[in-house]
């Protein structure tokens, strides 16, 4: 399990130092050798340590798979204009293509502006009755925005993870979205650290959405901060699509 923020910044510092040095010696480097395809991220953001045994078992036995995504506004996908463009739905489409012999359904249980605690309270109604084999829990944004106690946030996550584990459900956590503008006014760091550490101590994968979006922003793959009004929905759809692709790849790696 990666404890993202520290690794990211230190690795980046080393890269930048090395890059700066190379640039000084060799002149400007050709931008991203080979040209990055949209959605690509550095390997360190795709390092997956934990397995999803229950999901693997189901797929192996060709039994129907139910995945529930519980999260906030970015899970609902409303910014893209339709829940069909949200990452949970796109994830379902990708997984269906990869595992055509297995019926796979991904349920979207996103509700905007909820803290981890409020999401946890929805488990008995929105998550458990669906009988999922994997729960993807996208959380932390509202907690950081509202300044919920970090300890409290961590212990809420712990309660949720314990509950799902006791029911034999696989878990993945998804961290916050990134943009330059939001990180100047919201302190995500403490919450990112807590989220990643909870994953770490519980052997649960944390999908580093924040790190990925920051990478895309820095590589100018996407510009989250200065986008024209009529292009905003399109941008959201593209980003959700990339998130879904990366999530699907993560799941595939975590299966075997």
> Segment near another protein (CB under 8 A), from 10-18, 62-70, 98-106, 165-173?
10-18
176 binds another protein (CB under 8 A): yes
182 binds another protein (CB under 8 A): yes
147 binds another protein (CB under 8 A): yes
48 binds another protein (CB under 8 A): no
- Alpha carbon distance 55, 252 (integer Å): 10
Query: CB count, 10 Å around CB of 46?
Result: 16
184 binds another protein (CB under 8 A): yes
21 binds another protein (CB under 8 A): no
The least distance separating another protein from the CB of residue 4, rounded to whole angstroms, comes to: 9
Nearer Cβ to another protein (127/239): 239
Positive or negative, the CA dihedral 211, 212, 217, 219 is positive
The least distance separating another protein from the CB of residue 131, rounded to whole angstroms, comes to: 29
Residue among 179, 189, 203 nearest 153 (CA): 189
The least distance separating another protein from the CB of residue 150, rounded to whole angstroms, comes to: 8
Single out the residue of 141, 156, 205, 250 in contact with another protein (rule: CB under 8 A).
141
177 binds another protein (CB under 8 A): yes
179 binds another protein (CB under 8 A): yes
Residues 231-250 that bind another protein (CB under 8 A): 232-233, 235-236, 239
- Alpha carbon distance 2, 5 (integer Å): 9
Single out the residue of 83, 99, 155, 253 in contact with another protein (rule: CB under 8 A).
155
- Alpha carbon distance 144, 186 (integer Å): 7
22 binds another protein (CB under 8 A): no
159 binds another protein (CB under 8 A): no
Residues 109-128 that bind another protein (CB under 8 A): 112-113
46 binds another protein (CB under 8 A): no
47 binds another protein (CB under 8 A): yes
- Alpha carbon distance 92, 25 (integer Å): 47
Residues contributing to the site for another protein (CB under 8 A):
1-3, 5-10, 12-13, 16-17, 20, 47, 49, 72-74, 78-79, 112-113, 141-142, 145-152, 154-155, 176-177, 179-189, 193-194, 197, 200-201, 224-225, 227, 232-233, 235-236, 239
């Amino acid at each position: 399990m990666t404890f993202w923020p520290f690794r990211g910044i230190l690795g980046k510092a080393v890269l930048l130092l090395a890059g700066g040095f190379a640039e000084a010696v060799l002149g400007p480097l050709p931008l991203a050798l080979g040209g990055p395809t949209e959605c690509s991220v550095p390997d360190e953001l795709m390092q997956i340590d934990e397995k999803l045994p229950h999901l693997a078992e189901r797929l192996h036995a060709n039994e129907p798979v139910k995945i529930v995504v519980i999260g906030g506004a970015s899970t609902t996908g409303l910014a893209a204009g339709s829940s069909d463009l949200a990452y949970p739905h796109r994830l379902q489409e990708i997984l269906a293509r990869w595992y055509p012999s297995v019926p796979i359904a991904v349920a979207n249980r996103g509700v905007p502006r909820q803290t981890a605690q409020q999401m946890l309270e929805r488990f008995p109604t929105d998550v458990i009755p669906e009988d999922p084999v994997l729960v993807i829990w996208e959380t932390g944004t509202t907690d950081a925005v509202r300044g919920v106690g970090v300890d409290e946030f961590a212990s809420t996550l712990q309660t949720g993870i314990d509950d799902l584990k006791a029911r034999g459900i696989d878990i993945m956590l998804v961290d916050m979205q990134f943009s330059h503008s939001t990180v100047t006014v919201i302190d995500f760091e403490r919450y990112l650290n807590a989220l990643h550490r909870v994953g770490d101590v519980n052997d649960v994968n944390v999908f580093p959405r924040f790190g990925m979006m920051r990478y895309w922003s820095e590589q100018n793959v996407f510009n989250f901060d200065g986008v024209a009004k009529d292009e905003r929905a399109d941008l959201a759809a593209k980003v959700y699509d990339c998130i879904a692709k990366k999530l699907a790849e993560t799941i595939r790696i975590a299966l075997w």
